[in-house]
Amino acid sequence: MMKTDGTMASFERIVVRPPNWLGDAVLALPALAALRRAFPGADLTVAAPAAVAAVFREETDAAPDHVLELPASPAGIVAALRGGRFDLAVLLPNSFRSAWMAWRARIPARWGYAAGGRGWLLTRRVRPPRRSTRRHQAEYYRALVSGLGCEADASLLPRVGVSPASLARADALLAGHGLPPDALLVGFAPGAAYGQAKQWPSDRMAALMARVATSTAARCVLVGAAYDRPASRAIESWLRAHAPEAADRVVDLVGRTSLGALAGVAARTRVIVSNDSGAMHLAAALGRPVVALFGPTDERATRPLGGHDVILEDVFCRPCMLRDCPIDHRCMKRISVDRVFEAVVRRLADRAA
């Protein structure tokens, strides 16, 4: 019924392990769409941590038959994978652990990049692209599935369509703050999971929000995960101290939404201002114009895909990829409020035309 020698056999039950971070999981959607096309008759499950699994419950080109939310413990993950009785595991994470767990779950065929010393655990291996090659992260995942024999459409962008249930939750949340579904909203994602250095200073983000709130007809909505709360609190403190007239036009939803509801709120915005983060990639996949602020990370590898504004300063030390800046954070501090405000206003005008 199946083969374990790496050939393109007629697999019946396939599990895909997407990347473990939200932004990477969104960027991997075109690769997952290629897998779906390569195995149209298979029962396809996406198995991911809770923080990522919810993306695949929305409408995407990956179109899984099932979404398996993995438990936190290694033993629980192995048990969940073994219970699925899968005959093929496609591993997008490069970790030794993901391959080891698939092996322990007794999945006969295990495909992925031969990285991290795990090649012996895989039944079909693809050599990773050279690190010196500057390529977007979405291309990295596409190269994997192409190397596995699945034709990947290079023109396909990540796409997320909000489910009716998620949109209803978002609308109810916004209505609780006096915002109807057709309200003119500008979203702001002030956090970043990678580290403090990726964040535009909170006083700059707050000053930008004050200008948007007082100079346009838009209301401002702060979005993000629970770990972004320090950034949102700093913004609220600055607004109360320096722009109290704008504070009432700002709604803080950071840490107060599920991932589905976050997608629904983002879908209701006209434009989103974001650091290089998972929220940035989710907004781009939702078709929202993004004004993306880049500092220590490399925009060539992680910029939002599609027609978006990428704002950065060409300082000598970037991209350094450091979580914390050892000098003066010049890559982010030199991005002016005026420059970002102009991009937001231009995007608002484009959407109104």
pTM of the predicted structure, to 2 decimals: 0.94
In a domain, 148, yes or no: no
Task: List beta partners, residue 135.
Answer: none
| pLDDT attached to residue 8 | 58
Residue 312 gets which letter from DSSP?
-
Number of domains in the chain: 2
| Boundary residue ending a domain (94, 125, 156) | 125
Confidence of residue 133 (pLDDT cuts 50, 70, 90): low
In a domain, 109, yes or no: yes
- What CATH number does residue 116 fall under? 3.40.50.2000
For residue 281, pLDDT over 90 is answered with: yes
In a domain, 151, yes or no: no
Write out the residue range of the structural domain in which residue 117 sits: 13-125
Read off the pLDDT of residues 1-46 as tens digits, 9 standing for 90 and up: 344 444 556 799 999 999 999 999 999 999 999 999 999 999 999 9
Read off the pLDDT of residues 146-181 as tens digits, 9 standing for 90 and up: 999 999 999 999 999 999 999 999 999 999 999 999
For residue 353, pLDDT over 80 is answered with: no
In a domain, 221, yes or no: yes
Same domain, residue pair 230 and 341: yes
Mean predicted confidence (pLDDT) in 272-284: 97
Mean predicted confidence (pLDDT) in 255-280: 96
| pLDDT attached to residue 224 | 93
Read off the pLDDT of residues 212-254 as tens digits, 9 standing for 90 and up: 999 999 999 999 999 999 999 999 999 999 999 999 999 999 9
Read off the pLDDT of residues 88-97 as tens digits, 9 standing for 90 and up: 999 999 999 9
C-alpha–C-alpha distance, residues 173 and 221, integer Å: 12
C-alpha–C-alpha distance, residues 128 and 141, integer Å: 10
In a domain, 131, yes or no: no
| pLDDT attached to residue 219 | 97
Q: Report the run of H or E that residue 22 belongs to, with start and end.
A: helix 22-27
| Boundary residue ending a domain (125, 143, 159) | 125
Confidence of residue 300 (pLDDT cuts 50, 70, 90): very high
In a domain, 138, yes or no: no
Mean predicted confidence (pLDDT) in 100-121: 97
Confidence of residue 131 (pLDDT cuts 50, 70, 90): low
Single-letter code of the amino acid located at 331: C
| pLDDT attached to residue 2 | 40
Confidence of residue 139 (pLDDT cuts 50, 70, 90): very high
In a domain, 5, yes or no: no
Q: Which of 204, 257, 230 is nearest to 266 (CA)?
A: 257
C-alpha–C-alpha distance, residues 314 and 11, integer Å: 49
For residue 130, pLDDT over 60 is answered with: yes
Single-letter code of the amino acid located at 4: T
Q: CB-based contacts of 112: which residues, under 8 Å, 6+ apart? A: 90, 91, 92, 93, 94, 98, 99, 118, 122, 125, 126, 144
